[in-house]
Copies of this chain bind each other. A is one copy, B any other.
């Protein structure tokens, strides 16, 4: 009974923005039997969308007036304030608002400014590629994807569960539940800061007197490390700016680490090198190059085990699944701890019960 209630809870889903992410999500949810209504601001790929059982409407206001269970803002972050201001007077109390933005604290601030904090649950699907627009949309973009949901103390558990149902049952993806601060700091670590590092590498080559020699000698390591520096600089800059505080803190740490390695390397054949100082420097270097070992072990295990999304697609009872009970009080902290320990929710089995798999370092 409870499980079927959950199944129904996010049936009608409205999507504002039929770009790569919004479009792929619309295709996926419609394909998997949800009732999907969409609106797009500029171009209107409505004929193509309708052929995939996506209902299309003429305005954002009409989208909200349909009283969807979930309304997903899949518009660019820069358009958020305008979207939210237009939604505020028309959104139904029964609609839960969410988004797919790559930063969460900034979006929540804008949601709060529009007076919509009560109905909001943050979301960030780990899916995408270098393309854009509905023409590039593909329901397979969400194969095996993981979603981060972001909640705060004030978030309604019912609304959280509605969005979590949409992700697990609707999209068929796994979920981790964070708060804005930890989401944004983590996104800075694995994406925003590395984009700056990649850009800095390319910029160093461009500024080098031997750039043509270097470009000629460049092989796999250089290609991999500079790939993201080749993407749209405006989009990268916007992404980094939106998470500026976290990115700058990580860049300082990164710069300090590189400086420490440079120190050790300079001690290897410095003017005042002694046997002891060379030995010490080499010890430091060995520690440094060994230090990623837990991540290496994690990646080795990852390539051994089946992807968690496989579970969601119906292969139940596989090794590593575990049932959890989500407390009524302090559920946010409980789910954050679960995510920090490496657990990923692959399905909800009741209002306060879920199944997780664990991938941890």
Contact = CB atoms under 8 A, between A and B. Distances in A.
Nearest to A247: B265
Interface residues of A, number: 99
Contacts of A154: none
Contacts of A234: 289
Interface of A: 126, 128-129, 146, 148, 176, 178, 182, 185-187, 189-191, 194-222, 224-230, 233-234, 236-237, 240-241, 244-245, 247-259, 261-262, 265-266, 268-269, 282, 285-286, 288-296, 298-299, 339-342, 344, 359-361
A33 to B, nearest CB: 27
The 4 closest A-B pairs by CB, nearest first: A202-B292, A233-B289, A248-B265, A212-B342
Contact of A292 (B203, B285, B293): B203
How many identical chains are in the complex? Answer: 2
A166 B310 CA distance: 52
B265 A254 contact: no
14 contacts: A176-B217, A182-B210, A191-B222, A194-B225, A197-B197, A203-B288, A204-B254, A206-B292, A206-B293, A206-B294, A210-B340, A230-B296, A237-B285, A251-B265
Given A244-B265, A269-B244, A205 B224 contact: no
Contact of A259 (B201, B251, B291): B251
A205 B295 contact: yes
Contacts of A361: 205-206, 211-212, 215
Contacts of A178: 213
Contact of A189 (B187, B210, B250): B210
